[in-house]
Amino acid sequence: MPTEPISDRYELLEQLDHGGMGDVWRGYDTVLDRPVAVKLLRQASLAAAPHLAEEFAKRFQREARITARIQHPGVPQVHDAVLDASLERLFLVMELVDGISLTRYIDPENPLPIGWAAAVAAQIATVLSHAHRVPVIHRDLKPSNILVAGDGTVKVLDFGIAAILRTDVTKLTVTGTPVGTYQYMAPEQVRGGTITPRTDLYALGCVLHELLSGRLLFTAGDEFGLMYQHVSEAPTPLRQLRPEVPEALEVLVLRLLGKAPEERPADTQEVYEKLLPFLPLPGEEATADGGQGPTGVPDPTALYRKPYAPRAREQAPAAQRPSPAVLRPMPVPAQLREDIRTARDHAGHLIQEERFVQAVDVLGEVIEPAARALGPENKAVLSLRRERAAVRLLGGDYRAARPEFDTLADAYARIAGPTSEHARACRAQAARCRAGLGMVTDALAQLREVLEVVRAVDSDASEEAVDLRHNIGMLLLAQGRTAEAKEVLEPLYQDVVLISGPEDELASEIAEELAVIRLGLDGPGPEAR
């Protein structure tokens, strides 16, 4: 693992996968402050053959650029391609996909429902249709290169990598064997022949056969045996393995598995059309074909049953109620204290560089062990959680910050009382998050509740109250309730001028807002001054 950022930009944080062609790392783009996936490709060193280095560097970047031209939601976008100065490490920087590998869906005891398998295959066919138009041939399509995202979108990974490492031009692999995975390799690949889009269709047939039967197409014990089977042996028809598979679907799979490319469907569009009768219709139940889908994984039929559906409503996490033992003050172990200090320092530097997403993760890495050691409502743990929520708010991630502030407000209310300073502050921050999410009515109600508490325990002209009153006035303006906004902002302006003078920045800002209100832009004419 490189200790320095790649190209002074991409940090590698943790390994996500270890595969035949390379290792995948979770990384950060320090320039754009976003998580990325970084694939470190395994590669025989070019340092011993410098005359190949320049040629390879050009091929590497060219293939990455071609892959980046595939514009489809099912293809993680390629952001960058880097061949480091040692000529030994190749990095592809890509969109980080949060999904579950298709391998998790394959169970010999419980093959997928027909609709699920068809939905996966149809989405893969759609992705391939966009790739083949570029043209890009995948060359290594297999379940481990396919993810299903949380909304059911199928993501096809590693486009272009097989092409980057192919042996016919650069002779880069030591063994000279074909690039691909033997369980899904088309006969022409095994023979080292010309690769065409129909090569990907053969691999799709292998994948669909496996989804419907729960087992690999061929199962010879060694690579040579698998290669022989793909070239010479007929596949077992699906209905012999699973009688309820529709005959038309069995025919499609057998065509996809044709030994000669010409025996397979003409293109991915034809495959998709053949799959249409097996796809669920909008509004259908998830298991309309009678099968029971696997649990704990996203449903690939969702895109067909609920096309263009909005995001699912998010549930605020239930507040964790502590046991009496948790409420007792606990000493912070020395190592944990040092970890917390280091995390705060690191997060502080990241915030200064406006790398808010990464700062959130840095704080999160120490919050979990601290909560386990000290309890979820320990003072130090709550302070860290409040810092993380504040960073999320600062970075504009209102959706994640809102439930965290709500939960924190409940925790502080239990520990120190509902009118305590931290409880009030977290309620106000949660309201600001609601405003940022467009929940203006709820935000106004919550801010007014907090303001009443502040007025009861402090002054209406305190710094906290002034801030809340200004927030309320601005939200009323946003709703077009200018008369109500004026009623809030005029006395606020007088208070701020009295405390800080007319030249105060907030006083000037409120004066400008009142001037806009007096223009009467929401009414038939200017308001009387």
**Could you list the active site residues?**
140
∠ CA 170-174-176, rounded to 5° = 70
Distance CA 492, CA 510 (A): 8
Burial class (CB in 10 A: 0-12, 13-18, 19+), 100: middle
Q: At what angle do helices 379-394 and 398-416 cross, to 10 degrees?
A: 150
Burial string for 105-139 (b: 16+ CB within 10 Å, else e) reads bbeeeebbbbbbbbbbbbbbbbbbbbbbeeebbbb
Could you please report the per-residue DSSP string of 206-258?
HHHHHHHHSS-S---SSHHHHHHHHHHPPPPPHHHH-TTS-HHHHHHHHHHT-
Number of helices (H) and strands (E) in the chain: give both, helices first: 21, 8
∠ CA 141-68-395, rounded to 5° = 110
Q: Residues near 446 by Cβ (< 8 Å), separated by ≥ 6? A: 427, 428, 430, 431, 434
Question: Could you check whether the bond before residue 135 is cis, i.e. omega within 30 degrees of 0?
Answer: yes
- Identify the helix (H) or strand (E) that includes residue 178: none
Give me the residues paired with residue 149 across strands.
99
- Scan for tokens 């890495």, then name that residue: 365
Q: What are phi and psi of 325, to 5 degrees?
A: -65, -30
Structure-token pair, residue 142? 């297999």
Could you please report the per-residue DSSP string of 67-121?
HHT---TTSPPEEEEEE-TTSS-EEEEEEPP-EEEGGGG--TTSPPPHHHHHHHH
Give the three-class secondary structure for 339: helix
Q: Are 471 and 429 in contact (CB under 8 A)?
A: no
